Amino acid sequence: MNTVLLKNNEEDLIKASDMIRSGQIVGIPTETVYGLGADASNENAVRGIFSAKGRPADNPLIVHLADFSHASEYTSYIPEIAEKLAEKFCPGPLTMVLPKNEKIPMVTSGGLDTVGIRVPSHPVMHRIIELSGCPIAAPSANTSGYPSPTSASHVMNDMNGKISAVVDGGDSKYGVESTVISFDNENTARILRPGCITREMLLEVCENVIIDRAILNEVSAGEKVSSPGMKYKHYSPKADIIMAEASAEKLAEYVKLHDGENVYSLVYTGDEKYFPHRCLSYGADSVQQAHMLFAKLRELDESGAEKVYVRAPSAEGVGLAVYNRLIRAAGFEVIKL
Ligand code: AMP
Ligand code: MG
């Protein structure tokens, strides 16, 4: 299959929407990361997403809508807390897990009776949903297990020849995937995947916000999880990632002792002076680190890195999203110096 690179203009967005309406798969920019979009109500199209990514069939896809008012077409019940959150955070990087109705096929929901609903704010994604008239299922547009794509070239790298087109909408604004929440009851939200809508922000609307245990802890084989994605290895480049809870100076000393030709470091911007060679930086604060993390993990692979020591980010605010992606990329291997 020839994968066409489309531009961010009305003519090309019409082409992309026509492709989606006819059951094809298109890489689409969103404000979080690039998504692999198809008509969420078309079982064959959705199967195509799973096979292009190599994604396990029980890992559900998020359904993207142009406006939260359309959520009632695809769900059987919307609690008041979800409506309140939507007023404040939609459109934006928040996914709410709600009971689905029969318009969402089981293939899309990975066999669950719930569906994750999101209203993206990216104008390109928004326009494609409007033009296609479809609810769009769109997981991150990476090969399953690999870091999520934050540019059209990342998507091409993973999906060239496997999907119909990629729309180039520039670099993703946030750089990490949406915050995914479910509801334990009318007052309590549970974070299943942290993102740029933080616990503190959710607490402006919800009485209680629980951070699911699996966000920072490895789930053991057979353990029941709140979200199927928690079971799988994620965000991993080819290189072996080791997270270090350390100051820049301590980490630099450690890396010198464990150095080798293909040993790299990924540190905070400003730390580089302590590391004489093979050092990349991923930003000075959590927002920058979210924005750059996945691109840097891909860049490390291109450099031929085999082992990468990463200076662990703060786990506060948006940092929790960065910490969560890295600890999974590291297979929960953390050293404390
Ligand atoms: P991705 O599609 O790559 O952005 O990943 C979507 C994440 O949201 C995965 O970790 C899924 O397991 C999670 N998710 C999507 N839908 C649901 C759902 N209905 N219930 C629980 N988790 C979900
Ligand atoms: Mg993903």
Q: Secondary structure of 9-38 in the HEC alphabet? A: CHHHHHHHHHHHHCCCCEEECCCCCCEEEE
Residue 144, CA distances (Å) to 174, 288, 300 in order: 20, 24, 18
Q: Is the predicted pLDDT of residue 233 greater than 80, yes or no?
A: no
Residue 293 lies in domain: 240-336
Beta partners for 96?
117, 181
Pair 176, 310 in one domain:
no
Can you give the pLDDT at residue 229? 87
Say if 223 falls within a structural domain.
no
Pair 34, 119 in one domain:
yes
Pair 201, 60 in one domain:
yes
Pair 162, 260 in one domain:
no
| Ligand 2: centre distance to CA 58 (Å) | 13
Q: Quick check: 172 and 150 in contact, CB under 8 A? A: yes
Question: Ligand 1 in contact with 61 (CB < 6 A)?
Answer: yes
Average pLDDT, the chain: 97
Say if 266 falls within a structural domain.
yes
Pair 55, 88 in one domain:
yes
If one compares 233 and 130, the residue with the highest pLDDT of the two is: 130
Question: Ligand 1 in contact with 45 (CB < 6 A)?
Answer: no
Q: Is the predicted pLDDT of residue 224 greater than 90, yes or no?
A: no
Residue 252, CA distances (Å) to 158, 249, 255, 273, 278 in order: 33, 5, 5, 10, 11
Q: Quick check: 310 and 266 in contact, CB under 8 A? A: yes
| Ligand 2: centre distance to CA 250 (Å) | 33
- pLDDT tens digits, residue range 27-43? 999 999 999 999 999 99
Pair 26, 95 in one domain:
yes
Q: Quick check: 260 and 242 in contact, CB under 8 A? A: no
- pLDDT tens digits, residue range 6-19? 999 999 999 999 99
Q: Which two tokens stand for residue 234?
A: 């994620």
Q: Quick check: 286 and 195 in contact, CB under 8 A? A: no
Pair 29, 165 in one domain:
yes
Say if 290 falls within a structural domain.
yes
Say if 221 falls within a structural domain.
no
Can you give the pLDDT at residue 151? 98
Number of structural domains the chain divides into: 2
Stretch 196-201: mean pLDDT, rounded? Answer: 98
Can you give the pLDDT at residue 289? 98
Could you say which of 153, 180, 215 is where a domain stops?
Answer: 215
Can you give the pLDDT at residue 234? 80
Can you give the pLDDT at residue 220? 86
Pair 201, 321 in one domain:
no
Could you say which of 180, 215, 250 is where a domain stops?
Answer: 215
Say if 235 falls within a structural domain.
no
Pair 211, 288 in one domain:
no
What is the percentage of the chain residues whose pLDDT exceeds 70? 100
What secondary structure letter does DSSP report for 1? -
Question: Ligand 1 in contact with 116 (CB < 6 A)?
Answer: yes
pTM of the predicted structure, to 2 decimals: 0.97
Q: Quick check: 199 and 320 in contact, CB under 8 A? A: yes
Say if 232 falls within a structural domain.
no
Helix (H, G, I), strand (E, B) or coil at 136: strand
**Which of 98, 193, 325, 328, when mutated, tests ligand 1's pocket best, judged by the most ligand atoms within 8 Å of its CB?**
193
139 alpha carbon, closest ligand? 1
CATH number reported for the structural domain that contains residue 89 in this entry: 3.90.870.10
Determine which residue's CA is closest to atom 23 belonging to ligand 1. Answer: 227
What confidence category does residue 231 fall into, taking pLDDT thresholds of 50, 70 and 90?
Answer: confident
Query: Out of 111-115, 219-223, 283-287, 329-333, which region has the weakest mean confidence (pLDDT)?
Result: 219-223
Residue 2: name the closest of 161, 155, 141, 157 by CA: 161
Pair 204, 278 in one domain:
no
- Determine the atom of ligand 1 nearest the C-alpha atom of 142: 3
Pair 166, 246 in one domain:
no
Question: Ligand 1 in contact with 193 (CB < 6 A)?
Answer: yes
Can you give the pLDDT at residue 304? 96
In the chain, count H helices and then E strands: 9, 16
| Ligand 1: centre distance to CA 116 (Å) | 7
Say if 56 falls within a structural domain.
yes
Q: Is the predicted pLDDT of residue 25 greater than 80, yes or no?
A: yes
Sequence-distant (≥ 6) Cβ neighbours of residue 186 within 8 angstroms: 79, 80, 81
Helix (H, G, I), strand (E, B) or coil at 75: strand
What confidence category does residue 328 fall into, taking pLDDT thresholds of 50, 70 and 90?
Answer: very high
Can you give the pLDDT at residue 272? 97
Say if 291 falls within a structural domain.
yes
